[in-house]
Amino acid sequence: MEQQSSDHVATDVLASLAARRGQFLDFLARRTRERADAEDILQQGFLRATRKVATLRDTATADAWFYRILRRLLADTWARESQQRRTALAIEARPASAPPDTARCTCSVHLMDTLPPQYADILRRVDLQGQNVAEIADALCTTPGNVIVRLHRARRALRQRLLEVCGTRSSAACAHCRCDRASREPRETS
């Protein structure tokens, strides 16, 4: 019988909160940039309230309790956005220089064409054209993090290709190379 009573109280509290949805939405909308963000936070708030309503000791304080939930969600959202802005600024400020092992090798430029097109494109944008990660992310409609991952994979593939063709992964070993191996098949190993 006590479980039914507890379920009934929880249902009443949630119904009372849902009836004042507009008031809660206005509260959030004043603190967010977009109304859609306020809607998202409110939905998260209702979800959290549904899960935690059993912990509410006094139904008379349900409003204050729900506002605390919303404030915590707002704080989490602001912290996440702030971290994303800091990360984006750090990425944007990062120089777009080539790594030491592909910066000077003439073969590496020719070998880019033998890589998958998305790898060759990202290498050209960063290492040859000097674009920064944020510019590339905007142009490719992706995140800066995704660009960094693609760039890492492209450089790794280029190093592997240099090893196959020139027998080295280091541009220092072939910096002054004048060979035409880049257009030939992978080097034979004995």
| Residues 128-170 pLDDT 10s | 888 888 888 888 888 888 888 888 888 888 888 877 877 765 5
Mean pLDDT of 108-135: 85
Q: Are 41 and 28 in contact (CB under 8 A)?
A: yes
Is pLDDT above 60 for 189?
no
Is pLDDT above 80 for 3?
no
Place 93 in a pLDDT band, splitting at 50, 70 and 90.
Answer: low
Residue of 124, 134, 131 whose CA lies nearest to 96 = 131
Half-sphere exposure of 68 (CA within 13 A, CB side): 9
Average pLDDT, the chain: 79
Residue of 14, 20, 66 whose CA lies nearest to 45 = 66
Half-sphere exposure of 43 (CA within 13 A, CB side): 6
Q: What is the pLDDT, as a whole number, of residue 179?
A: 55
Query: CA-to-CA distance for 187 and 74, rounded, in angstroms?
Result: 59
Q: Which CATH number fits domain 106-183: 1.10.760.10, 1.10.10.10, 3.40.50.150, 1.10.8.50?
A: 1.10.10.10
Q: Would you state the CATH architecture of domain 2-93?
A: Orthogonal Bundle (1.10)
Query: CA-to-CA distance for 121 and 103, rounded, in angstroms?
Result: 16
Domain positions in the chain are 2-93, 106-183
Strands (E) across 8-164 are located at: none
- The two three-digit tokens of residue 43, written as one number: 């939905």
Is pLDDT above 70 for 82?
yes
Mean pLDDT of 92-100: 52
Mean pLDDT of 64-86: 89
- The two three-digit tokens of residue 181, written as one number: 């191996």
Residues 6+ apart with CB under 8 A from 113: 120
| Residues 31-54 pLDDT 10s | 998 999 999 999 999 999 999 998
106-183: same fold as 2-93? no
Q: Are 18 and 62 in contact (CB under 8 A)?
A: no
Query: CA-to-CA distance for 17 and 28, rounded, in angstroms?
Result: 14
Residue with tokens 């070993």: 173
Query: CA-to-CA distance for 143 and 134, rounded, in angstroms?
Result: 8
Query: CA-to-CA distance for 95 and 93, rounded, in angstroms?
Result: 6
